[in-house]
Amino acid sequence: MFTIQKISSKPKTILSVLLILFIGLNAFCQNNSYKIYALKFATLNFKMPVSFSAVGSTSKDSTGICYMVYLLKGNNGRTILVDAGFTETPTMYNMQAFTYIRPDSILKKININPTDITDLIITHPHWDHIGGIDLFPKAMVWMQEKDYNYFVGTAWQKDGDNSGFNSKDVYKIIQKKIDKQLTLVKGDSIEIIPGIRVFIGSRHTYESQYVLVGTGSDKVIIASDNTWLYYNLTSLLSIPITFDQKAFIENLKRMKSMVKNIDLIIPGHDPLVFSKFPKVAEGVVKIKN
């Protein structure tokens, strides 16, 4: 049964309204809170000069290169993976070059099953970020529309650029579309899931995107390859693979303006991620509780 009590005075009305607002706001915040993890499923078996990852760098240092997926565990029933990793290498890369565990296996270290993944945000369709999409059968895949169109179309035409793409992944994403498990995102600063907002990135691919999680002082950016290393952010130097190096640098600045601490801009391939945050399992760190 539902009854409405007569409200007898104005102050009481104001108090009631404030209380309802507070409860509503509180519920909204609680519903959109995410624990954030980075999971390293592959590591290159040799180091690379830092200068290979930053155009114009004079650094003599070397760095390890790792490959990650990122898990956003919401208390609203959403279990979101950012990027899908890879299950094989395209012909120009050798699987022997990597220490590797399949992306769905690394998730088991924090008790996440592949069927638990409700959403899969693909930052860009390079082989090492999209190849694992068929491991997560229940996930709705989210990708920028222009990136998708380039990936399945223009890239394979005469003047297209399909470097970094595995043609087998084109079939996988089209299968997702046929299965009605693909949502194409159109544009910048779009809240695709409560508390999860995507931004158009650096033109690493035709229309790569990155993910902002949280609000207020609580924000974390899952940058993926919109910066390969923390070094790109501190030196403001572009990675070599982009349609537009100037746009890449502008976007590094933009991401830095969006969070209070650059440690909270999580790069696509930097092993430092695994020393900056607390380890919760082998190859897994917790970025936010």
Give the binding site for Zn ion (CB under 5 A): 126, 225
Closer Cβ to Zn ion, 51 or 208, answer by number: 208
Rounded Cα distance between 120 and 182, Å, is: 9
Buried b (16+ CB within 10 A) or exposed e, 143-174: bbebbbebbbeebeeeeeeeebbbeebbebbe
Q: How many CA atoms are closer than 13 Å to the CA of 121, on its beta-carbon side?
A: 28
The nearest distance, CB 152 to Zn ion, in angstroms, is: 17
Rounded Cα distance between 269 and 42, Å, is: 10
Q: Is 107 helix (H, G, I), strand (E, B) or coil?
A: helix
Closer Cβ to Zn ion, 207 or 225, answer by number: 225
Closer Cβ to Zn ion, 206 or 274, answer by number: 206
DSSP state of 23: H
Helix axes 167-178, 145-152, angle to 10 degrees: 120
Closer Cβ to Zn ion, 103 or 195, answer by number: 103
The nearest distance, CB 84 to Zn ion, in angstroms, is: 13
Please check whether residue 107 is in contact with residue 39, taking contact to mean a CB–CB distance below 8 angstroms.
yes
Closer Cβ to Zn ion, 74 or 125, answer by number: 125
The nearest distance, CB 30 to Zn ion, in angstroms, is: 35
Q: Is 83 left (phi over 0), alpha (psi -120 to 50) or beta?
A: left
Q: Which residue is nearest to Zn ion (CB)?
A: 126
Closer Cβ to Zn ion, 119 or 225, answer by number: 225
The nearest distance, CB 239 to Zn ion, in angstroms, is: 9
The nearest distance, CB 126 to Zn ion, in angstroms, is: 4
The nearest distance, CB 228 to Zn ion, in angstroms, is: 8
